């Protein structure tokens, strides 16, 4: 029979899935050569601009977009995990990895004398920069979706706060962000981290504080709609952290 055991495989599967994602993100990402070639082929296959040579930068933007989807999948998997403890554990594992990769990439970039700006040509620099950009973006996803847990983990690793601050500022100056890719996410991340002043309208509905702010706003809205009756807004169902009147990413 073993119906009592039926629960176990689901969580094992969950963990296994996450494990695969982690492996994929942190290990596969290191041997950059094959994935790059693959995307290169993809680009050529789509027949985009046949006469036009595709720049390393264009290829990278595609690769970055692919990685971002993996990141979103990983976050969804954590969201689907049952229980605070499991999620917390998983976030710890992920942040542990992220804060190994980021300083490592920072060191490589520093040693190579790369200043943030145009996308590099050199393979090693490119590799280090992509690891930095991707891990900062992934960290941002985790932070924005699990703000309280992430802040809690960061409190226990003070050095990570310093690392991520430098990394965010650095990434912000790279071509990726100066061209506006993911710019909004980085702005939200910077506010959530307190690196820049929070917009008065900023709140993260996934944080305790944000939930309270949201309730306050709804209360206020309810009060004012007392005077101007029957104007039902459906603003409550926000999907992610955001500034007012801006599209969000998550
Ligand atoms: C990122 O760069 C933009 C434009 O240069 C700037 O307005 C913004 O404050 C920067 N954000 C951070 C976190 O440094």
Highest mean pLDDT among 12-21, 42-51, 65-74: 65-74
- For the cut 90, the answer to whether the pLDDT of residue 33 exceeds it is no
Tell me which DSSP letter residue 234 carries. -
Please give the distance, rounded to the nearest whole angstrom, from the Cα atom of residue 10 to the centre of ligand 1.
43
Residue 242: strand pairing partners: 203
Confidence band (pLDDT; 50, 70, 90) for 181? confident
Determine contact, residues 210/203, Cβ cutoff 8 Å.
yes
| pLDDT of 7 above 70 | no
Q: Is the pLDDT of residue 29 over 50?
A: no
The tokens for 235 are: 């603003």
Q: How many CA atoms lie within 13 A of 128 on its CB side?
A: 21
pLDDT at site 238:
56
Mutational pocket test of ligand 1: of 172, 173, 185, the residue with most ligand atoms within 8 Å of the beta carbon:
172
pLDDT at 46: 45
- Higher model confidence: residue 244 or residue 91? 91
List the residue whose alpha carbon is closest to atom 14 of ligand 1. 169
Q: What angle do CA 100, 146, 90 make, to 5 degrees?
A: 50
Average pLDDT over all residues of the chain: 81
pLDDT in the model for residue 200: 87
Instruction: Return d(Cα 178, Cα 42) in angstroms, integer.
Output: 25
**Is pLDDT of 38 > 90?**
no
Q: How many CB atoms lie within 10 A of CB 115?
A: 10
- 110 C-alpha vs ligand 1 centroid, how far in Å? 21
Residue whose CA is at the smallest distance from ligand 1 atom 13: 190
Instruction: Give the mean model confidence (pLDDT) for residues 189-202.
Output: 93
* Mean pLDDT on 214-232: 77
- Calculate mean pLDDT across residues 200-204: 87
Q: What is the pLDDT of residue 179?
A: 86
Backbone angles phi, psi at 124, to 5 degrees: -65, -40
User: From ligand 1's centre to the CA of 94, what distance in Å?
Assistant: 26
Mean pLDDT for 202-209 is 90
Ligand 1: which atom is nearest the Cα of residue 186?
13
Q: Hey, which residues does 203 pair with through a beta bridge?
A: 242
Instruction: With a cut of 50, say whether residue 5 has pLDDT above it.
Output: no
C-alpha pair distances (Å), 156 with each of 27, 92, 146: 25, 11, 16
Mean pLDDT value across residues 120-148: 96
Measured in Å, residue 170 CA sits from the centre of ligand 1 at: 10
Per-residue pLDDT of 55-105, as tens digits, reads: 888 999 999 999 999 999 999 999 999 899 999 999 999 999 999 999 999
- What is the total residue count of the chain? 250
Cβ proximity of 192 and 138 under 8 Å:
no
Cα–Cα dist 70/24, whole Å: 9
- 177 Cα: distance to centroid of ligand 1 (angstroms): 9
* Conformation bin of residue 233: beta by default, left when phi > 0, alpha when psi is -120 to 50: beta
Cα distances from 142 to residues 9, 162, 197, 213, in angstroms, run: 26, 17, 20, 21
pLDDT band at 213 (very low <50, low <70, confident <90, very high): confident
Helix axes 123-145, 56-80, angle to 10 degrees: 30
Give the whole-angstrom CA distance, residue 43 versus residue 47: 7
């Amino acid at each position: 029979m073993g119906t009592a055991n039926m629960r176990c495989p689901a969580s094992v599967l969950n963990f296994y899935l996450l494990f695969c994602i982690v492996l994929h993100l942190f290990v596969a990402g290191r041997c950059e050569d094959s994935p790059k070639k693959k995307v290169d082929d993809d680009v050529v296959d789509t027949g985009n601009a046949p006469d036009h040579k595709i720049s390393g930068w264009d290829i990278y933007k595609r690769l970055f977009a692919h990685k971002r989807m993996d990141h979103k999948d990983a976050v969804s998997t954590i969201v689907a995990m049952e229980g605070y403890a499991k999620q917390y554990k998983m976030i710890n594992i992920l942040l542990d990895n992220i804060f190994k990769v980021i300083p490592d990439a920072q060191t490589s970039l520093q040693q190579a004398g790369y200043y943030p700006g145009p996308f590099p040509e050199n393979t090693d620099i490119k590799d280090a920069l992509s690891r930095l950009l991707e891990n900062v973006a992934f960290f941002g996803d985790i932070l924005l979706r699990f703000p309280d847990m992430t802040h809690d983990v960061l409190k226990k690793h003070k050095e990570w706060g310093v690392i991520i601050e430098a990394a965010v500022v650095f990434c912000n100056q790279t071509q990726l962000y100066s061209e506006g890719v993911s710019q909004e996410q980085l702005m939200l991340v910077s506010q959530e981290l307190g690196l820049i002043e929070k917009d008065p309208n900023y709140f993260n509905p996934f944080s305790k504080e944000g939930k309270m702010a949201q309730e306050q706003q709804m209360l206020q809205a309810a009060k004012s709609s007392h005077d101007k009756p029957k104007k039902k807004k459906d603003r409550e169902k926000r999907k992610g952290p955001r500034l007012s009147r801006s599209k969000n990413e998550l």
